[in-house]
Amino acid sequence: METGLAGKRVLVTGGGGGIGSACVRAFAAEGARMAIHYRTSRERAEELAHETAGVALQADLTVEDEVDGLFEAAERELGGVDVCAAVAGFWPREDEPVWQLPLERWEATLRSNLTATFLTARGFLRLVERTGHGSLVLVGSTAGRFGEAGHADYAAAKAAIQVGLLLSLKNELVRIAPRGRVNAVAPGWTYSPMTRGELEDEFVARLSRTMALRKVAVAEDVARAVVVLASDELSGHVTGELVTVAGGMEGRTVHELA
């Protein structure tokens, strides 16, 4: 099916990561021209840029000036940005219930996820204000739908992204782009560098009790949803929606432990 993404200029944040790199490859497979953001994964981002004939761009998304510079660089290198996939995020590995959660970690997690996504969205919409068109896809998490014990900071940040921010942006965007759209994807447990070492067989057996499809996603599962939402051909009348990519996960147990 034609996605209409051939020749579109696409920026993927966190493009050197597992889900981010899958998104870059999925967009490139549709003929899009790629800008691949990274913070520390320079080698992976540059390899991916070489693979996709794209460009790798560095920025710390928690720093306002660097985000502004990222969009200036993307516009300079590609001639503009038609689609932005805000994939970058951070999941702290340590289990810390709220009564033990340090304020420092709380603030750092919100900054790495919510603030970074806000700055990314703002940078993109400032370009859209000039061009009058654009599609934005935010990446949240099932933690933002169901919560995640021991990671209330991460769950709170992702909930804010995929509810408050998403639903506000879809109404604001049309002030500057009458056909502009913003949607979000909420991945569940997904094999990626961020979850490396966490998804052992026994753990997967436990967590998948809340899932109709008893398996963990791969990054390409999430990337395909991002591409569909970004495409005006495939989802041109869809905005403000959250697509959950989590094998039918629910907030209750649907399987007995084998």
Residue of 38, 118, 154, 189 marked active site: 154
Given this model, what pLDDT does residue 126 score?
A: 98
Q: What pLDDT does residue 1 have?
A: 76
Q: Which of 37-51, 139-153, 201-215 has the lowest mean pLDDT?
A: 201-215
On the question of pLDDT at 156 being above 90, the answer is yes
Q: Which CATH superfamily is domain 9-243 in?
A: NAD(P)-binding Rossmann-like Domain (3.40.50.720)
pLDDT at 74 over 60: yes
Extents of the domains making up the chain? 9-243
Q: What are the beta bridge partners of residue 8?
A: none
Greatest extent of the chain over all pairs of C-alpha atoms, in Å: 56
pLDDT over threshold 80, residue 138: yes
Least confident stretch, 34-48, 60-74, 193-207: 193-207
Q: Provide the β-strand partners of residue 183.
A: 137
Are residues 192 and 19 in contact, defined by beta-carbon separation less than 8 angstroms? Answer: yes
- Rounded CA separation 183/166 (Å): 7
For residue 178, the Cα-to-chain-centroid distance in whole angstroms is 24
Q: Is it the case that residue 213 has pLDDT exceeding 90?
A: no
Q: Report residue 142 as tokens.
A: 């099932």
Residue pLDDT, tens place only, 86-134: 999 999 999 999 999 999 999 999 999 999 999 999 999 999 999 999 9
pLDDT band at 215 (very low <50, low <70, confident <90, very high): confident
Q: State the pLDDT confidence band at 36, using cuts at 50, 70 and 90.
A: very high
Range 78-87 average pLDDT: 98
Q: Is the CB of residue 117 less than 8 Å from the CB of residue 163?
A: no
Where is average pLDDT lowest: 51-55, 64-68, 149-153, 253-257? Answer: 253-257
Annotation says 154 is catalytic: yes
Cα-Cα end-to-end distance for the chain: 40
Residue that is written with structure tokens 């991002």 in the block: 226
Characterize the bridge pairing of strands 242-245 and 181-187. Answer: parallel
The answer to whether residue 69 scores a pLDDT higher than 90 is yes
pLDDT single digits (tens) 159-208:
999 999 999 999 999 999 999 999 999 999 887 655 555 556 666 666 66
Q: Strand, coil or helix: what is 35? A: strand
pLDDT of residue 190: 83
Give the helix ranges, DSSP H, for the chain: 18-29, 42-52, 64-78, 103-110, 116-131, 143-146, 152-159, 166-173, 201-207, 219-230, 232-235
* Interval 243-251 mean pLDDT: 87
Residues 6 or more apart from 138 whose CB is under 8 A from it? Answer: 86, 117, 121, 161, 162, 165, 166, 182, 183, 184, 185
